[in-house]
Structure 1
Amino acid sequence: MLIKIYTIIVITLFYLIYFGKMFIQSRKGIKTNQLGKYKHNKRVVFQEIVLRIITTTIVIVQVISIILNWSLLNTTYRYVGLVIGTLGVIVFFISIVTMRDSWRAGLTDDKTELITKGIYGFSRNPAFLGFDLVYVGVLLSYFSYFLLIVSVIAIVSLHLQILTEEKTLPSVFGEDYKQYFLNVRRYFGKKKTGM
């Protein structure tokens, strides 16, 4: 029962942070969720619509997994999952707070600031890392092959989104992004430069 309650708390906190940030930005006239609205590339639009569908689907599958108490793993793995999920919530929260009003979901023509300080000094994509950690955490806590498949598709979809964004960001932020790309890893860590 403790695992169920804590997993519900992790998922609830994660989505409260996500939708709370969107609400705060909407009150400032900022449209945060722009998945599938990028008019310059039909492939990107398709990719982002798929991402939107899969990230909605995974929430449904996670909730069903919790309600039906699916889990093929022992208690140790389930608790490890809770730790990983909690870490994901923390990473995601820190990343969107650090991004301030530059945070968007999806490619956009909005003029935003390139954030390279704080958690972004150690990860170019900490918000995506937060998503991945929450997905893995819930997967370990409520493991089923169905949730595994949906989680892998969601994580791969997020990774493809990162790769797409990395192709467009140099044209948006110029040399600053190129230097940032050379110094900070995609998911976590500084790169060794000057060798």
Structure 2
Amino acid sequence: MFLTVPFFFINIYFLIPFLYFFPNFHQNNWLLFETNYELIVVGSLCVILGRLITFGSMLYMRKENKQIQNNFKLHTKGIFKYSRNPGLDGMFLFFIGFGILFPSFLIFSGLVFYFFYMRFRVKIEEEFLKKNFKEEYLDYITQTKRFLLF
């Protein structure tokens, strides 16, 4: 239940841009700034690049995954050489682009919520990986950043 409620809100977060089709939501008091052509291009590029990074990392994991029952493989090559969580890096970039395209208080507050929630989830996953891969994972931590930019 503790992880389900934030997951529900994050999925609702994806639906917020559809509120722009309602005229009352378009009023300037909801917007942080006005978009222009350059911002639309930058936001669109962030969204597309973010999705490509996320899907690319998932495809790489599925291709390289040799999981048999509960035997997991630690992915340290390919895109995972640069970031321990490339799928989340892609999602962060996607949400930043999302915020540029739909610059409202709701979008940016959702981005902050999503960032802190995913940091919490990553710490849980890291404990699982430390327990299962021990020294191999500790070596990987010293060589690779948690996220691409930080």
Partner deviation per Cα, 1:73-106 (whole Å, 9 max, x = no partner): 331223211111111011111100111175xxxx
Q: Distance in 1 between matches of 2:71 and 2:8?
A: 26
Decide which of 59, 69, 76 is 2:14's aligned counterpart.
59
Deviation at 1:110, TM superposition (A): 4.3
Unaligned runs of 5+ in 2: none
Q: How does 1:41-190 map to 2 (within 5 A)?
A: 46=2, 48-65=3-20, 67-68=21-22, 70=26, 72-75=33-36, 76-100=38-62, 102=65, 110-188=70-148
Cα 1:110–1:133 shift into 2, 3 Å: farther
Q: Is the CA contact 1:81–1:139 (under 8 Å) kept in the aligned structure 2?
A: yes
Q: Is the CA contact 2:35–2:100 (under 8 Å) kept in the aligned structure 1?
A: no
Cα 1:62–1:111 shift into 2, 3 Å: farther
Q: Distance in 2 between matches of 1:50 and 1:128?
A: 19
Residue correspondences, number = 137
Partner deviation per Cα, 1:93-126 (whole Å, 9 max, x = no partner): 1100111175xxxxxx943211111000111000
Higher-RCO chain (CA-CA 8 Å, sequence separation at least 6): 2
Q: Is the CA contact 2:99–2:108 (under 8 Å) kept in the aligned structure 1?
A: yes
| Aligned AA (1:150) | G
Cα 1:167–1:143 shift into 2, 3 Å: same
Partner deviation per Cα, 1:1-51 (whole Å, 9 max, x = no partner): xxxxxxxxxxxxxxxxxxxxxxxxxxxxxxxxxxxxxxxxxxxx51x2133
Give the root-mean-square deviation of aligned CA atoms.
Answer: 2.2
Give SS of 1:115's match: coil
Q: Percent identity?
A: 23
Query: Normalising to structure 2: TM-score of the pair?
Result: 0.80
Q: How does 1:32-43 map to 2 (within 5 A)?
A: none
Query: Normalising to structure 1: TM-score of the pair?
Result: 0.63
Q: Distance in 1 between matches of 2:117 and 2:18?
A: 20
Q: Distance in 1 between matches of 2:35 and 2:88?
A: 28
Deviation at 1:148, TM superposition (A): 1.2
Unaligned runs of 5+ in 1: 1-44, 103-108, 190-195
